[in-house]
Amino acid sequence: MDVILLERIEKLGKIGDVVKVKPGFARNFLLPQKKALRANKANLEYFETQRGALEAANEERLKEAGGTAGRIDGMTITLIRQASETGQLYGSASARDIADALVGAGHQVERRMVQLDQPIKLLGLHKVRVALHPEVAVTVTVNVARSPEEAQLQIEHGGAVLGTSASEGEAKPAEAAQGAETSPAKTTPAEAPEAGDSAAATPAA
């Protein structure tokens, strides 16, 4: 199906371009979202009468997106979720959750702007692309943790942490804990600590 684009669509074209798309994409997305018109003589004539207004509106949206991008590019948001000891979430973190967190931080972001192929289902730090405008995209880090304290530890360690020392409150990196579980033959019993020594566990060699 041929359509006239009413705004720039990434990897498709810019305002005023007549492009061929799959009928389903046109009917389910472009046309109902008013991002395009069916390409026919009447609509081409109508578009030309509206071109100036459409281009001005796009410039305004682009300016607003640029301002928002400057504020959120590279920022980290924290989502607190329940999870198992292996880091698997009891549920997930969705694009709507991320958008809501950004809105809660005072930024104008819609769910459709958050480009998440599938919900996040693991603890840790996750890079997520946010397309604020067809010409403006940024990356934010989503810190999914079981508590604010764990979220801070994940930032310090650069990723998910599993297990916590009761004496020092020090979490082990997820990969270290995983390695200890998968290599039991190499683990040797720890010597009993003397009085005053730390009881923190150390990864197997």
DSSP state of 189: P
Q: What is the predicted pLDDT for the residue at 90?
A: 96
Residues 46 and 40 sit within 8 Å (Cβ to Cβ):
no
Angle, vertex CA 80, rays to CA 131 and CA 156, nearest 5:
85
Per-residue pLDDT in tens (0 to 9) along the chain, 205 residues:
999 999 988 889 999 999 999 999 999 999 999 999 999 999 999 999 999 999 999 999 999 999 999 999 999 999 999 999 999 999 999 999 999 999 999 999 999 999 999 999 999 999 999 999 989 999 999 999 999 999 999 999 999 988 653 334 444 554 443 343 333 444 444 444 444 443 444 344 3
Q: What is the predicted pLDDT for the residue at 11?
A: 85
Nearest to 203 by CA among 163, 165, 167, 176: 176
Find the Cα–Cα–Cα–Cα dihedral 52, 59, 7, 134, rounded to 10°. Answer: 170
Render the burial of 146-183: b for 16+ CB within 10 Å, e for the rest: beeebbebbeebebbbbebeeeeeebbbbebbeebeee
* Largest CA-CA distance found in the chain, in angstroms, rounded: 88
Q: Which amino acid is at 101?
A: A
* 146 Cβ neighbours under 8 A, 6+ residues apart: 80, 81, 82, 83, 123
Residues 197 and 167 sit within 8 Å (Cβ to Cβ):
no
Domains of the chain by start residue, with CATH: 2-71 (3.40.5.10), 76-186 (3.10.430.100)
Residue with tokens 């990897």: 11
Q: What is the predicted pLDDT for the residue at 165?
A: 36
* 184 Cβ neighbours under 8 A, 6+ residues apart: none
**Whole-number Å distance between alpha carbons of 145 and 199:** 25
Q: What is the predicted pLDDT for the residue at 163?
A: 65
* 185 Cβ neighbours under 8 A, 6+ residues apart: none
